[in-house]
Structure 1
Amino acid sequence: MNIFTVNTDCLSKTKTILNITLKNHKLTATINHRGAELISLKDNDQRDYIWNGNPEFWGKHSPVLFPIVGTLKNNSFHYENQEYHLSRHGFARDMDFELVESTAEKAVFLLSHNSETLKNYPFEFQLQLIYTLEETKLSISYHVFNAGTNTMPFSIGAHPAFALPESFESYEIEFDQNEALQYHLLENDLISNETKILNTQDKKLPLDYTLFELDALIFKTIQSKNLTILENKKPILKVEYEDFPSLGIWTKKAAPFICIEPWFGYSDVLESTGDLLLKEGIQILEPNATFQSIFSIKIL
């Protein structure tokens, strides 16, 4: 089955729609065509669990990171003896996606390569984001299709920011595994060789802004495949990311949100040669092949 088939029966003047809303008897989700970005996830009490995008702190909500995650060394890579440039986290988050399917509880967005993307990323691709409401859970599925004739290196990741209306210290993150949480420090937005161990208490990490004084916590590999956010000791939300190997956790000083970021890939390491095919954490997709992954946000 071709997962990129357009369901035209579900469309209605999609080019004029800026946002689309999904709704069931438990949740309401709103997604913007720009970046196919989740901008709101509300329960029946109208509590919005997604950060509102106040640019005073950070003007995004939940961008998709593609075709890279993080930062390239010198914001560039080389492929077949030619140099290309990509800004942090890639271009997908700033492009308009096409709505190709829409029902009350599901929306499918599509981004395809074009003459502009090929200037900075010389690969023919189709990227599909599928949002599905299921009771108190929103699932976000990524499908990447290599439409070209060469193997395609890429990274992809999520960057949801969750609103924290209480004081930052009122929150904890609970990991599902009892593990030594080793994270890498960043140096000029690149991953250094310096690591630290994150100290948890009964698998819980009390939130404190000092954790992020040196930017994000970067876990190249992590055993925990779901994280729970607790508010005043009460679980409120769970992020599940079973097949994602890497994770970032990030906020900004005094910002009332926390980002839980499942990734396939991460920023260049300091020793990076710039060869995209050899980039640490890169995914390699054969021609006519499809990559699929899924993560979910569950309101507790």
Structure 2
Amino acid sequence: MLYTMENEALTVTANTLGGELWDVCVKGNPPVPCLWDGTPEIWPRRAPVCFPWCGVVEDGWFEEGDIRFPAGTHGFVRDLEHTLVEQSSHRLCFRLDWPGDKCRWPWSFSFETVHTLEDCRLVTTCTAVNRSDRPMPVQLGFHPGFRCPLDPARPLTDYAVRFQLQEAPDGTDLYPLRPELFDLGSLCFQALRSSWVRLEERETGRYLQVELEGAPYLLLWSQPGIPGFLCIEPWTGYPGPGHDLSARPGVILLAPGAQYSRTIALTVCL
């Protein structure tokens, strides 16, 4: 089920499926959509959250307590129905309660996703609480897909990804987009000293800015040719070899009763 909130600048829709952002539009005549539209034959998602792990797991399974569990890509909270627990003109809060089982994930946890509007800024905070009686390995990643080109009348080569880097001469670094950029898959940046990343329209200076909040990993991803979207993905962890989730790069062992939160913020300047 879809729920909408809005202010003077933006209209935002989110889905109970995964608590996922579904639409972000700049108000105007006509409105300007920012998120990818989930075209099924290209990429059917829009802005999923990756939890309890990010990326793939070797051979598609992990082991816990001598039991093998199947493991798809990017965890499974994105594939489950969440419950809307709070709604206002500027805030949507979704919650998932996972009891733990012997088929998918043996730990019990709760997971809340809160979307908040602040003028031209959209803030999403995800919070996991370990409800089981033993440490739970977790990674958390955001996977928003943005329309690219933002203006369908402009060529892809008019767009670039700009990083805020203090050591660069002008304080930023520009990464031009090319159709062949993702022919070999995603690009991963580790220990990137940047507090934000922008998808920028080079001629006009218009942009979508993603605040990273110290994420140790940043991925850029699209399909070969960049067929209408670009994903900017801050992750807390990354895939690694083997079947022990607690040994993956960047993993957090969340103690019983403890909580773990991460935030992504989108600023729209269009």
TM-score of the pair, normalised by structure 2: 0.91
Equivalent residue pairs, number: 259
> How far apart, in 1, do the equivalents of 2:22 and 2:254 lie?
30
> How far apart, in 2, do the equivalents of 1:202 and 1:89 lie?
30
2:206 maps to 1:235: yes
Q: Deviations 1:225-274 (Å, cap 9, x if unpaired)?
A: 20111113313210002132111100112311110001011222xxx231
Q: How does 1:84-123 map to 2 (within 5 A)?
A: 84-114=69-99, 118-123=102-107
Match of 2:233 in 1: 261
Shift of 1:118: 4.9
Q: Is the 8 A contact 1:158 1:263 kept in 2?
A: yes
Q: How does 1:28-43 map to 2 (within 5 A)?
A: 28-43=11-26
> SS in structure 2 opposite 1:215?
coil
Q: Which of the two has greater helix per residue?
A: 1
When residues 118 and 66 of structure 1 are mapped into structure 2, their CA distance, relative to the original with a 3 A threshold, is farther
Q: How does 1:1-300 map to 2 (within 5 A)?
A: 18-45=1-28, 46-114=31-99, 118-164=102-148, 165=152, 166-177=154-165, 203-233=173-203, 234-254=205-225, 255-268=227-240, 272-300=241-269
> How far apart, in 1, do the equivalents of 2:145 and 2:15 lie?
15
> How far apart, in 2, do the equivalents of 1:118 and 1:28 lie?
41
> How far apart, in 2, do the equivalents of 1:284 and 1:99 lie?
28
Q: Is the 8 A contact 2:165 2:172 kept in 1?
A: no
Q: Mark the runs of 5 or more structure 2 residues left unpaired by the alignment.
A: none
> How far apart, in 2, do the equivalents of 1:120 and 1:93 lie?
14
> How far apart, in 2, do the equivalents of 1:235 and 1:227 lie?
13
> How far apart, in 2, do the equivalents of 1:162 and 1:213 lie?
18
When residues 286 and 230 of structure 1 are mapped into structure 2, their CA distance, relative to the original with a 3 A threshold, is same
Amino acid at match of 1:155: Q
Deviates more, 1:204-213 or 1:163-172: 163-172
> How far apart, in 1, do the equivalents of 2:155 and 2:224 lie?
13
> How far apart, in 1, do the equivalents of 2:181 and 2:8 lie?
38
Q: Mark the runs of 5 or more structure 1 residues left unpaired by the alignment.
A: 1-17, 181-200
> How far apart, in 2, do the equivalents of 1:123 and 1:69 lie?
17
Amino acid at match of 2:26: D
Shift of 1:224: 1.2
> SS in structure 1 opposite 2:181?
helix
Runs of 4+ aligned structure 1 residues displaced above 6 Å come to none
Amino acid at match of 1:265: G
> How far apart, in 2, do the equivalents of 1:101 and 1:282 lie?
30
Q: Is the 8 A contact 2:164 2:172 kept in 1?
A: no
Shift of 1:202: 5.7
TM-score of the pair, normalised by structure 1: 0.83
